[in-house]
Copies of this chain bind each other. A is one copy, B any other.
Amino acid sequence: VSAAVGDLERLVAIEEIKQLKARYFRTLDDHDWDAYVAAFTEDAVMDLTEEMARHAGAAVDAGTDPVSKGRQAIRRFIAGALDGSVSVHEGHMPIIEITGPDTARGTWSLHDWVSFPDSQFHGYGHYHEEYRKVDGKWLISFMSISRIRIAWETGSPAATA
């Protein structure tokens, strides 16, 4: 794609970004917020405006700013949304484009299943992301989510061992 990046360097970067996003998912569902925010650049922006509109009144207080700037704001938002839940997030079929030696963008298909004490949902959509290489490590510098559908169920979730 970029004339400045050779095929091998490009494939190495794509695999590193896939593993970065895989660690993002592991730490997200472990609710290990220190490790989670380490996947982002210090100045990363997480824009969940569409996400908030879909989940209105659910997990996150209606007054919360849907755009988080920087690791601490991202941590606060995600911990507020997921603490107390059992969560499963999966990312599929990445399209990652290396746009320069230290920049990339990508999309992932998302499936998430999140259970709160008295409700749960299955959601489907896409991540839209930008990446930056900082000190030799790829990190997420921008993230937003669009949704195909979210199916909520109220009442106790199925018995879970």
Residues of A within 8 A of B (CB): 7-8, 11-12, 14-15, 18-19, 21-23, 25-26, 29, 54-55, 86, 88, 90-95, 107, 109, 111, 113, 115, 124, 126, 148-153, 157-161
Contacts and interface: CB of A to CB of B under 8 A. Distances in A.
A158 B148 contact: no
A22 B149 contact: no
A41 B94 CA distance: 22
Contacts of A148: 29, 86, 88
A54 B93 CA distance: 26
B88 A149 contact: yes
Copies in the complex: 3
B7 A95 contact: no
A3 to B, nearest CB: 15
Contacts of A21: 93
Which 4 A/B pairs are nearest by Cβ-Cβ distance? A22-B93, A151-B158, A88-B124, A150-B161
A109 B55 contact: no
Given A15-B14, A55-B161, A25 B90 contact: no
Contacts of A109: 22, 25-26, 90
Contact of A159 (B19, B115, B152, B159): B152
Contacts of A22: 93-95, 107, 109
A46 to B, nearest CB: 19
Contacts of A111: 88, 90
Contacts of A7: 8, 12
